[in-house]
Amino acid sequence: MFIGHYSVAFACRTERNKIPLWVLFIAVQFLDYIWATLVLLGIEKLRVIKGFTAGSMLDSYFHPYSHSLITAILWSIVAALIYEAVCGRHGRHYTRFASLMIGLAVFSHWVLDLIAHPRDLAIYDNTWKVGFGLWNYRGPEFALEVTLLAGGIALYLARNAIPAIRKGAVIAFGIALVIVQIGDTYVPRTPLTDKATVTGVWIFYTLFVLVAFAVEKIGSRRRINASC
Ligand SMILES: [Zn+2]
The pLDDT, as a whole number, for residue 87 is 83
Write phi, then psi, for 221 (nearest 5 degrees): -80, 170
Contact in structure between 32 and 92 (CB atoms under 8 Å): no
What are residue 59's DSSP bridge partners?
Answer: 47
Neighbours of 203 (CB within 10 A): 11
* Cα-to-centroid distance, 28 and ligand 1 (Å): 9
The pLDDT, as a whole number, for residue 93 is 64
| Closest C-alpha to 106, from 129, 130, 132, 77 | 77
The pLDDT, as a whole number, for residue 35 is 97
The pLDDT, as a whole number, for residue 16 is 87
The pLDDT, as a whole number, for residue 221 is 66
The pLDDT, as a whole number, for residue 149 is 98
Residues of the chain with pLDDT under 70: 90-94, 221-228
| Closest C-alpha to 176, from 140, 144, 146 | 146
| Closest C-alpha to 75, from 117, 33, 119 | 33
What sign does the dihedral 152-156-158-162 (CA atoms) show?
Answer: negative
* Cα-to-centroid distance, 20 and ligand 1 (Å): 22
* Cα-to-centroid distance, 1 and ligand 1 (Å): 7
The pLDDT, as a whole number, for residue 67 is 97
DSSP letter at 59 equals: E
* Cα-to-centroid distance, 80 and ligand 1 (Å): 18
The pLDDT, as a whole number, for residue 7 is 98
* Cα-to-centroid distance, 206 and ligand 1 (Å): 15
* Cα-to-centroid distance, 180 and ligand 1 (Å): 17
